[in-house]
Amino acid sequence: MTEHDQTRRQPQPPVDPRTAWATWTTQSIISGPGGVSTAEVGPISGDLTVHTTWVDGEARLTVQYTGALDWYTVTGSPVPAADETTARAIHQAMVNGVKAGRGAEAPPSPTG
């Protein structure tokens, strides 16, 4: 058995969400009527950018007018996300929510 084969068979510890992180940004989303609800300024709408950071076991969702400097916390953020895949799904759900508008808020965690 080669050294490579031995390494491949050793169990790998699970990723600790407290030490892992990831981030996604989707730009130039035209919001549906009613836009997105934010904690700081209420609803915003128009050409928006969504940014999600997965850290400490949660997805933190923010939104801005595309090209602007200020970011706003999406109402309902952060959302529990045990792993990176879950956080990515939350980001995509938020992008879809922006497109739908109607005062979109952070989606619930797909894991409950």
Query: How many CB atoms are located within 10 Å of the residue 49 CB?
Result: 18
- Between the CA of residue 37 and those of 7, 8, 18, 50, what are the distances in Å? 49, 47, 28, 12
The string of pLDDT tens digits covering residues 12-42 is 555 554 567 899 999 999 999 999 999 999 9
The answer to whether residue 8 sits within a structural domain is: no
Owning domain of residue 61: 17-100
Among candidates 53, 50, 47, 51, which has minimal Cα distance to 66? Answer: 47
Give the model confidence (pLDDT) of 74-88 as tens digits: 999 999 999 999 999
Residues with Cβ within 8 Å of residue 28, at least 6 apart in sequence:
47, 49, 66
What mean pLDDT is reported for the chain?
88
Residue 6 within any structural domain of the chain: no
* Number of domains comprising the chain: 1
What is the 8-class DSSP label of residue 103?
S
